[in-house]
A and B are shown apart, each in its own frame.
Chain A
Amino acid sequence: MKLSDAAEYLRTYNGRELRLMEVCGTHTAGIRQNGIPSMLSEKIHLVTGPGCPVCVTVTQYIDRLTELSQDDRNVIVTFGDLLRVPGSSISLEQARSRGADIRYVYSPMDVLRLADEDKDHDYIFAAVGFETTAPVYAALLAEAEEKKIYNLRLLTSLKTMPEAIQRVSDGIDGFLAPGHVAVITGTGDYRELAQKLGIPFVISGFEGEELIAALYALVLLAEKGDAVCLNMYTRAVSDQGNEKAREAVDRFFTGGDAAWRGLGVIPGSGLYLREEYGKYDQGSRDITQDKEPAGCRCSDVITGRLTSLDCPLYGKTCTPEHPVGACMVSAEGSCFNTYRNMNISEQK
């Protein structure tokens, strides 16, 4: 089968209407950057799910970081994307312009150096992410232990995917399973989910060709009603996943309930520092509320109830320059990616 045949099939597909969801921010960006929405039949609807770690982070978490930043002894360290996410009153970027010490790094490991060089301050890292990022935080903590760096704490907002997928699966005919997550977790979770939900899952890579091939397979499986999980990212994903990474995570973290923006608290969908490493925890378990800024419809976008273009705020009061919600901020957010890489027919 050639790629052009798969693309032609997707372009001319005339079976039942299908709603297919991707739940990985890198897939969201890849789909948009490759112009894939312009290549699909009108009967295939791509829906973005809760796969962007910044977008599913609750407002209470941003507010808590802002609050911590008001203490002169604290330095808040975060990924760049989080800076511009609106809190209930201000964003971290605004807090920084008012004098709070808030830095952004590209790699979590950078915070070790910062904390080690400046023992007079406490460094609080905003540790957001999914199963993919958790091993990096585990490595960070292992090194902090070894180097006896104790002026470092994490405010975690770590989440696991399978429980959230179940929560948003109503009306979805198939999932592009998250490729990076599966590198760590293996394929087991998605085989179980496919069976339990009665819909197909395809684990996909991130290149344009890989996404087209995966969507082609997903449409075929969905049409046949074949509720299996197909791994089409075998160059990176094995059935058993990365056991070493999981062991490292397991050393420091344990499961718990987690609050998702737009989805509320989902039992067993979070990772928290174990009690014996409590000295590194900045009270992460206290983040339990999911309350959005006034007027924000991110919750509907994250759960696939609303496309970015249908959101009444999109492109009007909510733009990348003046975001109302997290989906318009993150490079992996549905709205940001739609805004930057529109389909021609979507242009207003």
Chain B
Amino acid sequence: MDRIERSHGSGGVATSQLIESIFREAFSNEFLNGLTDAAVLPGAKRLAYTTDSYVVRPIFFRGGDIGRLAVCGTVNDLLTSGAKPAYITAGYILEEGLATDDLRKVAASMADAAFEAGVYIVTGDTKVVEPADPKAPGLMINTSGIGFLSDTTHVDPSRIQTGDAVIVSGSLGDHHAAILSERMNIQNDICSDAAPLGDMVEKLFDSGLHIHAMRDVTRGGLATILYELAHSANVHIYIEEKDLPISQDVAGFAGLLGLDPLYMGNEGKMVFLLPGEEAERAVDLIRHSRYGENAAIIGCVKAESSGTVVHTAIGGTRVLAPLVGEGLPRIC
């Protein structure tokens, strides 16, 4: 079984063998191992529930792969509601011809990420389809996730208040730049930042800080996320350009291609809004948590009408619009 074949999606013996040899092998846990059609899980009164599909190309890239992404993305989405992520499902659309070793690597990477995030992969599904590009068969993954919330946890953009500080947990644009570098065959040291962010969120909650809202910085970049937060809470968010954490490599890469790091996506960065007087303590806690060493206070919330304004490094101001179309590089 070197490559994925149609029969692996048939629902017959080959499918069972694939599931046994790859997925149960990688994800083995008490909820999954029965391989029932639906996993039966102990629950709680309040659940957070989310789903996301992953179609990234290439499927392996510096700093991660599609499997790590599929776990981290769903875990981080759960975290933004204030939930503690608990269970993940995984649906695979495999393209015929995919190397079985590649699938095994993806599954191992998902198992690692799930272990780190403290979640169980409890049920799943596998289908096989014709490859879009027969020379490079790949796979797509859908994950959904369930997390638990205490009765007293309320994290929601509507709770954002004037005087809140805006904190970002680390450097912007890394994942976007890493993927684009792979696609364009550009040699550099930029790695995807795909990571589960439970550690920093837990530290903030455990210390009794009052997080009003959280968002993970993904497609559309920080600009789009702040725009959405500002509009849903009807506040003005002010950002200091000089305080934005952006690595030199990403800044150089973005400059070369005419991209704006504010519109470049991450897969392991969180934005927090919480009372201004708690900001210093929060940023200190994040910096001492996993994946948070470059956290920074980047702005604050002011009243006025909704929108996001950037104070540029040279003293100008500009209003940020959300990302429209795809962020394509300039051509001269």
- A39 and B315 in contact, given A107-B184, A341-B321 (Cβ under 8 angstroms): yes
Chain B 276-332 residues near chain A, CB threshold 8 A: 307, 309-321, 324-326, 328-332
Q: Quick check: which of A28-36, A224-232, A277-285 contacts chain B, the rest being far away?
A: A28-36
Residues of B in contact (CB 8 Å), total 27
- Tell me if B202 is interfacial: C-beta within 8 Å of chain A: no
Among B260, B314, B326, max chain A CB count under 10 A is at: B314
Main secondary structure of the interface of B (DSSP, over half): loop
Q: Is the CB of A320 within 8 A of B317?
A: no
Q: Report if A79-B310 is in contact (Cβ < 8 Å); known contacts: A35-B317, A321-B324.
A: no
- Which of B183, B320, B328 is A331 in contact with, Cβ under 8 Å? B328
* Residues on B with beta carbons closer than 8 Å to the beta carbon of A53: 331-332
Check if B314 sits within 8 Å of A320, measured CB to CB.
no
Q: Are B314 and A80 in contact (CB under 8 A)?
A: no
Interface string of A69-84 (1 = CB under 8 A from B): 0000000000111001
Q: How far is the CA of A347 from the CA of B309 in the complex (A)?
A: 11
**B332 cross-chain contacts in A, Cβ below 8 A:** 25-26, 53, 129-130, 132-133, 180, 332
Q: How many whole Å from A230's CB to the nearest CB in chain B?
A: 20
Task: State whether the Cβ of B257 lies closer than 8 Å to any Cβ in chain A.
Answer: yes
B34 at the interface (CB under 8 A from A): no
CB-based A-B contact count at 8 angstroms: 104
In the assembled complex, A7 has its CB within 8 A of some CB on chain B: yes
Distance (whole angstroms) from the CB of A69 to the closest CB of chain B: 19
The smallest beta-carbon distance between A157 and chain B, in angstroms, is 12
Considering the chains assembled together, what is the distance between the CA atoms of A49 and B287 in angstroms?
Answer: 46
Are B318 and A342 closer than 8 Å at their CB atoms? yes
Residues of A within 8 A of B326 (CB): 80
Partner of A208, one of B183, B313, B319, B321: B313
Question: A79–B331 Cα gap in the complex (Å)?
Answer: 7
Q: Which residues of chain B are near A107, meaning CB under 8 Å? A: 184
* A208 CA to B312 CA, complexed, in Å: 9
Known: A339-B321, A341-B320. A331 touches B314 (CB 8 A): no
Are A344 and B319 CB-contacts (below 8 A) given A33-B312, A35-B310, A321-B325? yes
Q: List 30 A-B contacts (CB under 8 A).
A: A4-B315, A7-B315, A26-B330, A34-B318, A35-B310, A35-B311, A35-B314, A35-B316, A35-B318, A36-B316, A37-B316, A38-B318, A53-B331, A53-B332, A79-B328, A79-B331, A80-B328, A81-B330, A106-B183, A106-B257, A107-B184, A129-B332, A132-B332, A133-B331, A209-B314, A339-B321, A340-B324, A342-B318, A344-B309, A347-B307
The 3 tightest CB contacts between A and B, nearest first, are A35-B316, A320-B324, A80-B328
